Amino acid sequence: MSVRAIREYRFPSRSRAELYGDDQLVHIWWRNNQFLASAATVRVPTAMPFGEFVKTVVEPWAASDPDFQPGSAWDWFIDDNPLQVRDEASLHELGIGHKHTLSFQVG
């Protein structure tokens, strides 16, 4: 359920993109996972290659689930739209921006 403000929001967000310099916040969500039921938010460089992001950020987080198997085939989504990933492409090149939700499901 969303929260509605009583008044208009007239001040800058405390998590706006310009406060993070070359970094950004990304929400990571493992779809249909009962152990990790909600998304995690991480701060990562926009220029980070996707393969490095998976190995150094996503896999350590997902490893808290006892059923996790590193290197499994995953289907990726950005804000509910299918995403074709390339390990060498940066997060920015793939369209993964500040406060976007990057989700995956085991394929």
Contact call for residues 53 and 71 (beta carbons, < 8 A): no
Concatenated DSSP letters for 12-59? --TT-GGGGTTEEEEEEEETT-SSS-S-EEEEEETT-BHHHHIIIIIH
Each of the 107 residues of the chain gets a pLDDT tens digit; together they read: 667 778 887 888 888 889 999 999 999 999 999 999 999 999 999 999 999 999 999 999 999 999 899 888 899 999 999 999 999 999 999 999 999 999 999 86
Model pTM?
Answer: 0.87
Instruction: Supply the DSSP symbol for 60.
Output: H
Using alpha carbons only, give the angle 88, 94, 80 rounded to the nearest 5 degrees: 130
